[in-house]
Amino acid sequence: MAIDTEAIKYHIRGILKALGEDPDREGLAETPERVAKMYEKVFEGMNYTNDEIAEMFGKTFSVDDRGSENDMVIVKDIDIFSYCEHHMALMYDMKVAIAYLPKDRVIGISKLARIADMVGKRLQLQEKIGADIAEIVQKITGSDDVAVLIEGSHSCMTARGIQKTASKTVTSTLRGRFRTDVSLQNRLYR
């Protein structure tokens, strides 16, 4: 699905009118085009399914000496942003941690950050971001044992409604042994 920038321009112009603004005034004349270009970038992830993202970032490397079955790969503090599907409000200052237990192959760590970034570029909920990242990492690595932790601020909580500016939302998505193995959970939450 391609993002229809012409439709976005048209509707942003209509929103400006609905707000009582003159969309032709100097400061707003190019706003519909700027918003359409911004939406094309910030919602890029909507163009791809989880399978397509797994294919895009699916480069893996074999693990020559398999070590312990409790070996863990974890990448923390991956910065992303997204937009809430309920209010189209910005979810910001989001930090993602992705962990998995390798089987025969590992994924390049920069690919984990790229996956998180692309998944964030969709209208959705923070819980869905974690579930989508976990699904994609499972597809790529072949490991059932995947965990995704996300902490972020939501402007639907901080700038509108209840307006609690310091609030953070924390979600965890646990798959495979991360659901049941307390020692793995302890290592993850350190």
137: amino acid identity, one letter:
V
User: Does 11 qualify as catalytic in the annotation?
Assistant: no
Instruction: Report, in angstroms and rounded to the nearest whole number, the Rg of the chain calculated over CA atoms.
Output: 20
- The catalytic position among 55, 69, 86, 127 is 86
User: Does 135 qualify as catalytic in the annotation?
Assistant: no
User: Does 84 qualify as catalytic in the annotation?
Assistant: yes
Query: Contact 98/120 with Cβ under 8 angstroms?
Result: no
User: Does 127 qualify as catalytic in the annotation?
Assistant: no
Distant-in-sequence, close-in-space partners of 67: CB < 8 Å, separation ≥ 6: none
- The catalytic position among 85, 151, 163, 185 is 85
Crossing angle between the packed helical segments 31-42 and 5-18, to the nearest 10 degrees: 130
- The catalytic position among 124, 126, 135, 138 is 126
C-alpha distances in angstroms, 100 versus 110, 135, 184?
Answer: 14, 11, 10
- The catalytic position among 33, 40, 44, 84 is 84
Length of the chain: 190
- The catalytic position among 124, 135, 138, 154 is 154
- The catalytic position among 11, 151, 156, 185 is 156
User: Does 30 qualify as catalytic in the annotation?
Assistant: no
User: Does 163 qualify as catalytic in the annotation?
Assistant: no
- The catalytic position among 11, 21, 44, 87 is 87
Could you list the active site residues? 84-87, 126, 154, 156
